[in-house]
Amino acid sequence: MQDFQRYLKKSTAAVVAVQLDLDFEGFAYEKWGGTQRCKKGDWVLCNEGDTYTVDGAVFERTYHRVGKGLYVKTAAVWARVADESGTIRTIEGSTDYAAGDYIVYNDEDRTEGYAVSRARFEEMYAPAPDED
């Protein structure tokens, strides 16, 4: 099994985002092979036509505003290519992935995970420079 490597989002990979700052119970939706759930304070992102929600605390910690409604993920992620297909538990629900897709974590201790197709991940992320 391949080790996790550190990656950074490419600066050109901005998303449109709106916070769900509403007094509501949240909602559920089907995406990535599972049921996703969002709640008050989460964010709805449109990432080049791919729409999904991100936990409010995670978004605030990992994204930076670059324009009106435009954000770039500035926090590093840890990722590796999946050896076989499977399902990963996420904060919002679960995501199915195929062999060759990337398993990604927002934190080095691997508690905030998700999966991204290989082509999409490599389009959006680049290996991070070594930390000295």
Residue 120 counted as domain residue: yes
What is the mean predicted confidence (pLDDT) over 20-25?
94
> Per-residue confidence at 25, pLDDT binned at 50, 70, 90?
very high
Q: How confident is the model at residue 26 (pLDDT cuts 50, 70, 90)?
A: very high
> What is the domain count for the chain?
1
For β-strands 77-81 and 5-9, DSSP reports them as antiparallel
Strands (E) located in 1-132: 5-9, 15-19, 27-31, 34-38, 43-47, 50-54, 63-67, 70-73, 77-81, 86-89, 94-97, 102-105, 113-116, 125-127
Amino acid 111: pLDDT: 86
Average pLDDT value over all residues in the chain: 93
55 domain-assigned: yes
pTM (2 d.p.): 0.85
CA distance 121 to 118: 5
In a domain, 109, yes or no: yes
Look at residue 132 and tell me if it is in a domain. no
Span 40-59, pLDDT tens digits: 999 999 998 899 999 999 99
86 is in which domain, residue-wise?
Answer: 5-127
Residue 123 lies in a domain: yes
pLDDT at position 70 over 70: yes
Q: What is the pLDDT of residue 17?
A: 97
Spatial separation of the C-alpha atoms in residues 52 and 114, rounded to whole Å:
12
Q: Does residue 110 surpass a pLDDT of 60?
A: yes
